[in-house]
Structure 1
C-alpha cells in the first residue's frame, strides 16, 4: 500500500519541526541573550552610535575614495565596529545568533538532501552554497565541478 502525504500533513510536520527548534537550548539561549542585549544600556548606546557612523560611511561610499573624508570615516567605522563587536553583551549575542543560524542551516540541509542532493540551500557559506566551485574556476572541471 502506497501512502502519500497531503499538504496538511507536510505543514503539520513542518510546524512540529519549528516547535522542536523553538524549544531547543540553542534557541532559548539566543532569546535570553537577545533580551539581555536589549536591556544593556551601554550596548544600545554603542549600537546607536554605530548606526550614525554607518550612515556617514554610506554617504562617503557614494563618492568613494574621492570624498574628502573617505579615509577618516572608513577608519572610524572600522575602529568603532571593533569596539561594538568586543562589547561582552554584543559578542555573546552574536555567538548565540551564529549557533542558531548553524542549527537552521543544518536542518535545512538535511531536509533538502532528503528530497534531492541537487537542491541548493543558501547557507551563508560560499563553499557550501556553490558546492565548492561556482563553475567559473577556469580549470576545465579538474576541481570536480561541472564547469
Structure 2
C-alpha cells in the first residue's frame, strides 16, 4: 500500500505536470485557435448549420435507410460537414486539438512505460499513426 506521504508526493507531481501541460506552447496554440474559432461569425454559422442538419440526421436514424428522406438528409449532412471542415478557423482548431491529444497520449505512454512495459495505454488515433499499439512494444511493434 502506498504510504500517505508517497501518495501526497505523487499527487503534487501530477499537479505540477498538469500545470506544465496547461502552460505549454501546444495548449497556448489550442487556446488561441479556440478563441479565434469562437469569435469567427462565419465559422459559428457553419457549425450551427451542421448541428441543425445533424439533428435531422439523428431523427431519421431510428428508421435508417427506410426513412423517405434518408438519402437527402445524408447528402445534406455530408455537405454541411465538408463546408464546416473547410473553414480555416475550424481546420486550425481541429489541428490544435489533435496536437493536444498527441501530447497527452505521449505523456500517458511515457508514464505507463516508466511503471511497466506490460501496461496497455489506449492512444487516440493510434490507427492513424505509427506510434505502435499502445502495449509499450511488448508485442513487437515499433512502439
Tell me the TM-score range normalised by the shorter chain: 0.7 to 0.9
Give per-residue Cα distances to partners, 1:9-47, cap 9 Å, x unaligned.
Answer: 001110111111111111000001101111111111111
Q: CA RMSD in A?
A: 2.1
Higher-Rg structure is: 1
TM-score, normalisation: structure 2:
0.84
Q: Establish whether residue 34 from structure 1 lines up as the match of residue 14 from structure 2.
A: no
How far residue 120 of structure 1 moved from its aligned partner, in angstroms, is 2.0
Instruction: Describe how 1:113-124 pairs up with structure 2 within 5 A.
Output: 113-124=113-124
Give per-residue Cα distances to partners, 1:56-108, cap 9 Å, x unaligned.
Answer: 00111111100001111011111110100010000000000000110000000
Instruction: Describe how 1:1-147 pairs up with structure 2 within 5 A.
Output: 6-125=6-125, 127=127, 128=132
Q: Structure 1: which 4+ aligned runs deviate by more than 4 Å?
A: 126-131
Stretches of structure 2 that go unaligned for 5 or more consecutive residues are none
Report SS of the residue matched to 1:106: helix
Mapped partners of 2:73, 2:21: distance in 1? 41
